[in-house]
Amino acid sequence: MGAYLMMIAAFAVGLPLPVVNLIAALIYYSINRKKGRFVHFHCLQSFLSQIPTTLVNWGLLFWALQIYLFDNYGETTLFFAYIVLVIVANLIYIIFSVIAAVKAWKGNFYYFLFFGPYAYKRVYSRSNPLQYDNEDNKATPFNLNKPPY
Amino acid sequence: MLGKIQKDLIKLLAFFGGLFLFFYLGFFLLFRSSSVTWLTSEYNEHLFSYEKEIQLGEIIDRYAIKEEEIDILKNRPIDSALWVISSRLKKQIPISEYDYKIKIIESEMINAFTIPGGRIYISKELILFCESPEQLAAVLAHEIAHVEKRHTVSRILKEFTISLLFSIISGTDTVLLSELWKTTISSSFNRKQEQESDEYAMDLLEKSNISPRAIAAFFRKLNRENLDYDEKVEFLMSHPHNNSRIKRSLEYKISNGFKPIPFDLDWKSIKEDL
């Protein structure tokens, strides 16, 4: 749960320069991923879903700077459509992060579209070499929740 | 399972791509009927009427004389020379919303600038620097271009939207005016606006029977005197590089029937009188 909540906080801090949240996600991920598969899964999902959101925000920043510094407007209709897209994307991201945070806090899985199954596959596959603090190395619990496939 | 993940990715991309397209088309249809495009100079025009701009110019001018204590030079020969030059240029501006007011200020800098509302200031040093009235006309034409293209308005709007965002303006009138004044004289136009003004100026000069090559002559003299950007030539700071401007002025195609009519002014004695 912490992963999602912290992301939202870092996201707010990083609004003028959308890079802080990505760095925060990376740090949080690298510190906490060994705590257990469940934590690893949620951290990874949070971090992965962060990347496209940040890229989209960078795009907006870059475009806005182009306009401000060089009067390079491009097509303004396209720009306004992009602003709306950024707003919607961020809203969706925040809403789903909150839901995921609540689910994680309750000890449940929650799968984002694409990022969820991908993170699950990475964390719960036999090829995942990571040694978790709460597991002995031999037994891998495969009786946990499966993604909805 | 990988197949599912890929399908998920396609779903996500399709959703956001569709959303973008939807809003783009929506905005496109919404604004198709209106003639103004957001954020562009026409939009600024729409946002900031000519009347407001002229009023603002008056206020800034009054403030500058009173608070910033700029000295306006009053000298009969140069005033009448300026009138001769500017009225020849003004005649060729198709329809102007502005009643131009050109003032000479006491300044050590070679400087010329505009504030909103068609007010142009030229430093005494710049007049002394010009070798001919044609060169002064070239500078004037350039400043007129900034006014006609409403670059001052877009600059102020841009600066102040940002300032407001970061709450720099504390609210009192004098502070606001001082900020406005500083913005108009210090912050510069961007390269695109400068080029646009140069082109407009050359066109205006040609129509006024003044050789557009006067711009080249002016910048050549600047180069000759080796005036660096940071030395004396404040108003050239952000302007395109002198050499490229000389080049553009020399490459400007003058129409075949063009005949320059020299100004009937005794430039040397006018300068001596200053």
Percentage, residues of chain A above pLDDT 70: 71
Q: Is A139 on the interface with B (CB under 8 A)?
A: no
Residue A77 to residue A146: CA distance in whole angstroms: 44
Q: Pick the residue with more confidence: A16 or B175?
A: B175
Residue B121 to residue B113: CA distance in whole angstroms: 5
Q: What would the two tokens of residue B254 be?
A: 């003058």
Contact A76 B26 (CB under 8 A): no
User: Average of pLDDT values for A118-128?
Assistant: 82
Same domain membership, residue B50 and residue B29: no
C-alpha triplet B258, B198, B246: angle, nearest 5°: 80
Q: Above 70 in pLDDT, residue A144?
A: no
Amino acid of residue A124: Y
Tell me the per-residue pLDDT of B195-244, one tens digit each, with 9 for 90 and over. 888 889 999 999 999 999 988 888 888 877 766 544 445 444 445 567 77
Q: Above 90 in pLDDT, residue A101?
A: no
Residue B135: per-residue pLDDT: 92
B24-49 residues labelled b (16+ CB within 10 A) or e (exposed): beebeeeeeeeeeebbebebbbeebe
Contact A82 B190 (CB under 8 A): no
Q: Is B151 exposed, middle or buried (0-12, 13-18, 19+ CB in 10 A)?
A: buried
Q: Give the range of the structural domain holding residue B14, as residue numbers without chain letter.
A: 1-33
Same domain membership, residue B8 and residue B85: no
Mean pLDDT of chain B: 79
For chain B, what is the domain count? Answer: 2
Same domain membership, residue B123 and residue B8: no
Residue A25 to residue B104: CA distance in whole angstroms: 59
| Alpha-carbon distance B38 to nearest alpha carbon in chain A (angstroms) | 6
Same domain membership, residue B239 and residue B108: yes
Tell me the per-residue pLDDT of A66-94, one tens digit each, with 9 for 90 and over. 776 666 555 667 888 888 888 888 889 88
Q: Is A127 on the interface with B (CB under 8 A)?
A: no
Nearest residue to A118 (alpha-carbon basis) of A149, A90, A82, A77: A149
Q: Is A85 on the interface with B (CB under 8 A)?
A: yes
Same domain membership, residue B97 and residue B190: yes
Same domain membership, residue B14 and residue B125: no
Chain A residues whose CB is inside 8 A of the B190 CB are 69-71
Q: Pick the residue with more confidence: A77 or B94?
A: B94
Q: Above 60 in pLDDT, residue A145?
A: no
